[in-house]
């Protein structure tokens, strides 16, 4: 399973109650209301636990975390050899 699929599964399960119909790889989590500030917290915790990484303060940006593509790209940067 690639990063996008893994994260897609998490978002759909935890924030969309199993219904991922509206979620594309480019959908902005915040603009679409899929995730609020507390939800971002859960997403970060999930990423840290799943990929065994630490996300620093200066990495907590929409460019890294606000869509499936952005998150996948960010994870790839953090752990280049993982896919």
Residues interacting with other proteins, by CB under 8 A? 17-19, 37-38, 41-42, 44-45, 48, 54-57, 60
Shortest distance (Å) from residue 60 CB to other proteins: 5
Asked if residues 70 and 80 have their Cβ atoms less than 8 Å apart, the reply is no
- Helices 68-78/3-15 angle, 10° precision: 130
Q: Which is nearer to other proteins, 4 or 16 (CB)?
A: 16
Q: Which is nearer to other proteins, 56 or 81 (CB)?
A: 56
DSSP secondary structure letters along 43-61: HHHHHHHHHT----GGG-S
Shortest distance (Å) from residue 2 CB to other proteins: 25
Shortest distance (Å) from residue 16 CB to other proteins: 9
The secondary element (H helix, E strand) that includes residue 15 is helix 3-15
Q: Which is nearer to other proteins, 19 or 22 (CB)?
A: 19
User: Could you give the CA distance from residue 44 to residue 21 in angstroms, rounded to a whole number?
Assistant: 23
């Amino acid at each position: 399973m690639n990063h996008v699929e893994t994260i897609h599964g998490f978002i759909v399960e935890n924030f969309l109650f199993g219904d991922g119909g509206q979620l594309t790889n480019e959908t902005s989590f915040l603009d679409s209301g899929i995730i609020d500030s507390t939800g971002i917290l859960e997403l970060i915790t999930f990423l840290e636990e799943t990929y065994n990484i630490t996300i620093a303060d200066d990495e907590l940006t929409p460019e890294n975390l606000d869509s499936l593509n952005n998150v996948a790209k960010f994870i790839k940067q953090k752990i280049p050899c993982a896919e």
